[in-house]
Amino acid sequence: EPEVTQTPSHQVTQMGQEVILRCVPISNHLYFYWYRQILGQKVEFLVSFYNNEISEKSEIFDDQFSVERPDGSNFTLKIRSTKLEDSAMYFCASRSQTSGPYEQYFGPGTRLTVT
């Protein structure tokens, strides 16, 4: 069964460094999302992406964040200058136009630790 994959599974970085989190969505999916979950808290929407554009972003998704689909398979989240409060689990999700109106498929997540 196709699945969403994410790399790395765990990333440790120092405050102020740039990080890129990578996701490979399911191959025929067209809609892509990033969510984050701070330890012990709920999962929060960050950004949605369709047709090579951001379609919606949350208040969390400030200028430090960017997303890109650099090729036909990868979908990345970049944090330009990490802060301690960026430490969280980051989930990528994807959705097709035909898998049901709103069903998203989630990756296993990348745990980001900022020291």
CB 17 → another protein: shortest distance, Å?
Answer: 24
CB 33 → another protein: shortest distance, Å?
Answer: 7
Q: Is the peptide bond before 25 cis (omega within 30 degrees of 0)?
A: no
Return residues touching another protein (CB under 8 A): 31, 33, 35, 41-45, 48, 50, 55-56, 91, 93, 95, 100-104, 106-109, 111
Instruction: Please write down the HEC assignment for all residues of 58-101.
Output: CCCCCCCEEEECCCCCCEEEEECCCCHHHCEEEEEEEECCCCCC
CB 26 → another protein: shortest distance, Å?
Answer: 14
